[in-house]
Structure 1
Amino acid sequence: MTTFVDRVVLHLQAGDGGHGCVSIHREKFKPFGGPDGGNGGHGGSVSLVVDPQVHTLLDFHFRPHVKASNGKGGAGSNRDGANGADLVLRVPNGTVVQTTGGTVLADLVGAGTTFEVARGGRGGRGNAALANARRKAPGFAELGEPGDKLDAVLELKSVADIGLVGYPSAGKSSLISVISAAKPKIADYPFTTLVPNLGVVRVDNHTFTVADVPGLIPGAATGKGLGLEFLRHVERCAVLVHVVDTATLETARDPVADIDAIEAELAAYGGLADRPRLVALNKIDVPDGRDLAEIVRPDLEARGFRVFEVSAATREGLKELMFAMGELVAAARAAAPPVEPTRIVIRPKAVDDAGFTVEAAPDGAWVVRGTRPERWIRQTNFDNEEAVGYLADRLARLGVEEKLGKAGAQAGDLVRIGEREFDWHPTLYAEFVPGVRGGDQRLAEKTQRPSAAERLAARKARRQRPGDEPESDELDGDSGE
């Protein structure tokens, strides 16, 4: 059973932020010493970092569920909650992070490359942090935000300069074992290699890596054999080397047909047409193999291939092949665009950009989208009237009320922000009116006083009753008091 895993699905859960604390300082002779509730701690995040000592995704195959710790809640005496511990997952070089839908989130290449895949939730502020000149002793605190939760697909694509491709038992593993220090499994039966092997080759002043890809067969790009699982490992290779068995006992095969079959699979997989190719006619230590190599060499050179007759057993012709590999790798590196230093570009927000949008949904609701409004919704404790009033004030100061009115929203319309829905009533006051701690006078008034639509409907109903005189507006509560 192979222990190589190059594709896993991770179920990630960042830590939730801790709730803020509602507390009033009390000591002898000072019964109301002011708010002293601390802030909640931030939830832990989940990050991926490239570790050169990790070569497979095997650990995640057995433990796909990853969860960071939550932040602790705040406490009295201005004590902030502890932050949740971040989780750092070590992945191999060349790991690609995707969503389950196939969207690439990050391509991690290079030791130490880090990507925060799931961010922890922010901790809620305590009532000490929410106090101001008008709201001297808030009776509420913010809730902690939930951490990110997602499923991420990790795919490993080997980072190698040269990829050895060919039929099973063509001698790829033998070749990489003699030109590098790699020790792959070698046997005289097909599909001996079940995992990609990497080897480092040094020749002259060139140093490069070679990947031995498990044998390909016709139909590999559509799922036959092992090719579909491992063709991704040649995507990053700058040069492809066809390793051809010239001493095969299968009479229906010949070197030219083998190369045509492999090229068809590479074309079906896509994205590899621009890579330079070399051809290594292997096993010329066998007399029949040497004769066949000499016969097919002119045909392959006529197609534009650089052909080398080699023997992994006797090491004949390997020096010339290695020098050719080094030259092509050096040329590919020289042609690669230079890595430019990262520049931080500061783009100021447009003057008319409020940071949110108001759109009409097909079901008749008004949908408010924006980072701040949605975050404020998550942080609000809707069981506390004062917290709801504070949210209304924040939305009004941001301009949500004004923009809803300009968009055509009417009193009583359904408004959706994040996962919450409300019946919209234009704010009567722009600022907080001091009252009972934990309550809001404006919400009490709205609860006791019928809405304008209800009062209008009641007045029309009374006027339509026969024999009744219409009542004055003062009796209906429309006097403006």
Structure 2
Amino acid sequence: MSRFVDRVVLHLAAGDGGNGCTSVHREKFKPLGGPDGGNGGRGGDVVLVVDPQVHTLLDFHFRPHAKATKGQPGMGGHRAGANGEDLVLAVPPGTVVLDDRGEVLADLTGTGTRYVAAEGGKGGLGNASLASRARKAPGFALLGEPGDVLDVTLELKSMADVGLVGFPSAGKSSLISVVSAAKPKIADYPFTTLAPNLGVVSVGGDTFTIADVPGLIPGASEGRGLGLDFLRHIERTAVLAHVVDCANLEAGRDPISDVEALEAELAAYQSEFSDAGMGDLADRPRVVVLNKIDVPDAADMAEMVRGHFEDKGWPVYAISAVAHKGLEELKYGLFELVKAHRKANPPAAPERIVLRPKAVDADQFELRKDPDEPGGFIVLGPKPERWIRQTDFTNDEAVGFLADRLARLGVEEALIKAGAGEGCSVTIGDVSFDWEPQTPAGVDLMRTGRGTDLRFESSERAGAAERKYQKYVRRGLIDPDSETLE
């Protein structure tokens, strides 16, 4: 038995970026080949793409975990690592993507619409890309950044021109089965329809779509019966057709009270749950379909209540889905309303995208006091947090490079102005360290060897290296004002 799934939670993981490579070119008779480590590859994205051949979220119900491939690490000889492959997931038209707080991230409607739900990490730079006049042969490379890991909720809202609204067993499934090629389950008990059924109706040389959704009962807007599972699928319909059972013998029910109950639930749902931008359900054209007139008493009932609905300006059609009475008139009447809606709401022209990039130095970082660590500080900002993720903390030269980058960004100066003391805790991303304001940073120091930094050597070795560095500066062999790669 096939299943219709219209709401799932996806666990997404984009691919991590590949690490950069630390390599020095070695060739006979070329002792100073220089660094030749390549960059790491980009991690793959997780992309949602609208496919009209997909009609349900059933595949994601059984396979809710989606992970893209990683980027490959760089290699020597200036060879970059391969990029990870994007993972493309096909979703049906009308899929809404929500985050874990219930906020809408994307509304996917048009065929081919793409949305990058999880972005892959960037690849790390190899030591060839980090070389500069002051750091001619870096003994480190940058790590690849991790890809996004998050949970998203997918909700499917049927996209049909006409939505059939009615109590259980009003004949909605029978109607859609005779006006289209859809074959929904039909039985004489309530809630036979447990999932929306879509059908295509042919009228002359044109077509329109019609949706038969689960039956509605009073209290549906509060979750009774199939409640919200029903109401979600009528938000996008252009025309609402009330299908009324005129042969119903249940006490306290008649066509007028049934329609009033349906309208009350639609109004309650609109005010509480309907998405902004979908329009007011009260403004949608209404049609009243008085069904089952093949029963003599039902035909009399249809004539009695017809005037009540026509006074509201709603077209009324008396039909029998079983006996195929009045169906042609109904089909053409619905199509006229759909055609008027299409004319009043033409497809939107492609939106012109204007790119306004931020200045390079805008909102680079923010310094806050750490509420969990007395006297501590937290550095926030995409740039310093990205640098932390890129740093190999087992390599002293890489850590020194990070310190220089942070100093040039102004983090050291901001800590001093904020009153940070020696040994106070500073947290950037998921890394915490004790700040040492006397450690020189922001200047290119004499290198003591690939993968090392004199600031992390013993005081005796550091002093000797510094004296040697100053001697080279005096002789003009090293330019102290040279800049390294940002």
**So what's the TM-score if we normalise by structure 2?**
0.87
Contact 2:173 2:184 in 1 (8 A): yes
* Equivalent position of 1:376 in the other structure: 387
Shift, 1:67, TM fit:
1.0
**Counterpart-to-counterpart distance in 1, 2:320 and 2:233:** 25
**Counterpart-to-counterpart distance in 1, 2:357 and 2:39:** 30
* Equivalent position of 2:477 in the other structure: none
* Equivalent position of 1:106 in the other structure: 106
**Counterpart-to-counterpart distance in 1, 2:114 and 2:142:** 31
Contact 2:407 2:441 in 1 (8 A): no
* Equivalent position of 1:155 in the other structure: 155
Shift, 1:103, TM fit:
1.2
Moved more, 242-251 or 411-420: 411-420
- The yes-or-no answer on 1:443 pairing with 2:456 is yes
* Equivalent position of 2:411 in the other structure: 400
**Counterpart-to-counterpart distance in 2, 1:204 and 1:417:** 67
* Equivalent position of 1:345 in the other structure: 354
Describe how 1:4-403 pairs up with structure 2 within 5 A. Answer: 4-204=4-204, 207-270=207-270, 271=274, 272-336=281-345, 339-347=348-356, 349=358, 353-363=362-372, 364-403=375-414
Contact 2:22 2:37 in 1 (8 A): yes
- Residues 91 and 348 from structure 1, CA distance in 2 versus in 1: closer, same or farther, beyond 3 angstroms? closer
**Counterpart-to-counterpart distance in 2, 1:107 and 1:448:** 61
Shift, 1:206, TM fit:
5.0
**Counterpart-to-counterpart distance in 2, 1:447 and 1:412:** 22
In the alignment of these two chains, the number of paired residues is 449
Cα deviation code 1:423-443 (max 9, x no counterpart): 233452422213221111123
**Counterpart-to-counterpart distance in 2, 1:411 and 1:359:** 17
- Residues 428 and 292 from structure 1, CA distance in 2 versus in 1: closer, same or farther, beyond 3 angstroms? same
**Counterpart-to-counterpart distance in 1, 2:40 and 2:213:** 51
Amino acid at match of 1:360: K
Shift, 1:13, TM fit:
0.7
Amino acid at match of 2:224: K
* Equivalent position of 1:430 in the other structure: 442
- Three-state SS of the structure 1 residue aligned to 2:97 is strand
Moved more, 324-333 or 99-108: 324-333
Amino acid at match of 2:3: T
Cα deviation code 1:26-61 (max 9, x no counterpart): 233444522122211111111010111111111111
Contact 2:215 2:230 in 1 (8 A): no
- Three-state SS of the structure 2 residue aligned to 1:332 is helix
**Counterpart-to-counterpart distance in 2, 1:338 and 1:56:** 24
- Residues 338 and 54 from structure 1, CA distance in 2 versus in 1: closer, same or farther, beyond 3 angstroms? closer
- Residues 354 and 261 from structure 1, CA distance in 2 versus in 1: closer, same or farther, beyond 3 angstroms? closer
Output the aligned Cα RMSD. Answer: 2.2
- Residues 349 and 151 from structure 1, CA distance in 2 versus in 1: closer, same or farther, beyond 3 angstroms? closer
Contact 1:22 1:140 in 2 (8 A): yes
* Equivalent position of 1:460 in the other structure: none
Cα deviation code 1:202-249 (max 9, x no counterpart): 335653211111111222222322232232111111211100010123
Cα deviation code 1:108-146 (max 9, x no counterpart): 101111101011111111111111111111111111111
Contact 1:97 1:107 in 2 (8 A): yes
Moved more, 217-226 or 77-86: 217-226
Moved more, 226-235 or 184-193: 184-193
- Three-state SS of the structure 1 residue aligned to 2:282 is coil
Shift, 1:413, TM fit:
3.0
Contact 1:40 1:125 in 2 (8 A): yes
- Three-state SS of the structure 1 residue aligned to 2:283 is coil
- Three-state SS of the structure 2 residue aligned to 1:273 is helix
In structure 1, runs of 5+ residues without a counterpart are 450-481
Shift, 1:362, TM fit:
2.9
Cα deviation code 1:80-109 (max 9, x no counterpart): 222111100011111111112201111110
**Counterpart-to-counterpart distance in 2, 1:439 and 1:65:** 42
**Counterpart-to-counterpart distance in 2, 1:331 and 1:367:** 58
Contact 1:42 1:84 in 2 (8 A): yes
